[in-house]
Each structure stands twice: as structure tokens, then as C-alpha cells.
């Protein structure tokens, strides 16, 4: 079973992630950054995010170790993200977000983090390997 936590504002990010890393030492922590959902449709404004989401969740359930954590991180509306070098997730020293969706296997040391970016997040073989490694 995967435990899911959602970050609703950028200023919660570091504190929430640091707390989870401390509480769940040795467990797998995955961070999914994606375009915020449109309230009218319930789907992300980002077409790549919409395509990748069901595949990510399928592989999380099938391939991720028991007691894994998924931290969902909406990065903002299209206007808050697209073409905005000042988006806080782009400026975050560890994330340095370049494109969405981005899926990170968050470790205690940034050098050992693993990532899937954009279309990689919708490839079955990459997701399976990512979650089971």
C-alpha cells in the first residue's frame, strides 16, 4: 500500500518532505510534480501529466515496495508555471524543475535521487524499473 500526501502550497514543501524523510527512514519516498488540476475538469492543464498519471499510479501499486510514500506536488496553473522562470519549483535548489511531469525518487542525499521527466513518466518499462529499483 502506498501512502499519498499532497503539498498544497510551496511554503509547505521543504518542511513536509523533511518530516517524511525523518519519519520513514529506509522507506521509498517518491515526489510527483505536475500541473495543477483545472477545477472544472479535475484534470491537470498539462497534457503530458494527464497521460502519465494513470500509468504512474498503476506502477506505484504494482511495483513500489510496501509502505512507499507518494508526495503529490501541483506546481501551479498554466499561467503560474508555463514560461515562468520564477516558479518556485524551478528555483528550488534540489528540484530545479525543468519540465512536468517530473517524478523523483527522493533519498537522503541529492546525488542518489533518481528522476523520470516528461514522456519518461508515461513509459511502462521505465516506470516499472523506477519503482522496483
Which member of 7, 29, 32, 46 is catalytic? 46
Which member of 7, 29, 32, 49 is catalytic? 49
pLDDT band at 36 (very low <50, low <70, confident <90, very high): very high
Share of the chain above pLDDT 70, in %: 100
Domain count, the chain: 1
Q: What is the pLDDT of residues 84-129, one digit of tens each?
A: 999 999 999 999 999 999 999 998 888 889 999 999 999 999 999 9
Quote the radius of gyration of the chain (alpha carbons, Å).
14
Predicted confidence at residue 1, as pLDDT, reads 75
Q: Domain holding 44: CATH number? A: 3.40.30.10
By CB neighbour count within 10 A (0-12 exposed, 13-18 middle, 19+ buried), where does 129 fall? Answer: middle
Cα–Cα distance for residue pair 80/129, rounded to 1 Å: 32
121 catalytically annotated: no
By CB neighbour count within 10 A (0-12 exposed, 13-18 middle, 19+ buried), where does 85 fall? Answer: exposed
Task: Residue 119: give the domain boundaries.
Answer: 3-132
46 catalytically annotated: yes
Helices (H), the chain: 13-23, 47-63, 78-81, 88-91, 124-132
Contact 97, 13 (CB under 8 A): no
Amino acid at each position: 500500500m502506498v501512502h499519498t500526501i499532497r503539498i498544497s502550497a510551496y511554503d509547505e514543501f521543504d518542511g513536509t518532505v523533511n518530516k517524511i524523510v525523518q519519519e520513514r527512514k529506509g522507506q521509498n519516498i517518491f515526489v510527483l510534480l505536475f500541473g495543477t488540476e483545472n477545477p472544472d475538469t479535475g484534470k491537470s492543464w498539462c497534457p503530458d501529466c494527464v497521460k502519465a498519471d494513470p500509468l504512474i499510479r498503476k506502477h506505484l501499486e504494482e511495483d513500489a515496495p510496501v509502505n512507499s510514500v507518494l508526495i503529490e506536488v501541483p506546481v501551479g496553473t498554466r499561467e503560474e508555471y508555463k514560461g515562468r522562470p520564477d516558479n518556485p519549483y524551478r528555483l528550488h535548489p534540489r528540484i530545479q524543475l525543468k519540465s512536468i511531469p517530473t517524478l523523483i525518487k527522493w533519498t537522503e542525499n541529492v546525488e542518489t535521487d533518481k528522476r523520470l521527466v516528461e514522456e519518461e513518466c508515461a513509459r511502462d518499462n521505465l516506470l516499472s524499473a523506477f519503482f522496483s529499483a
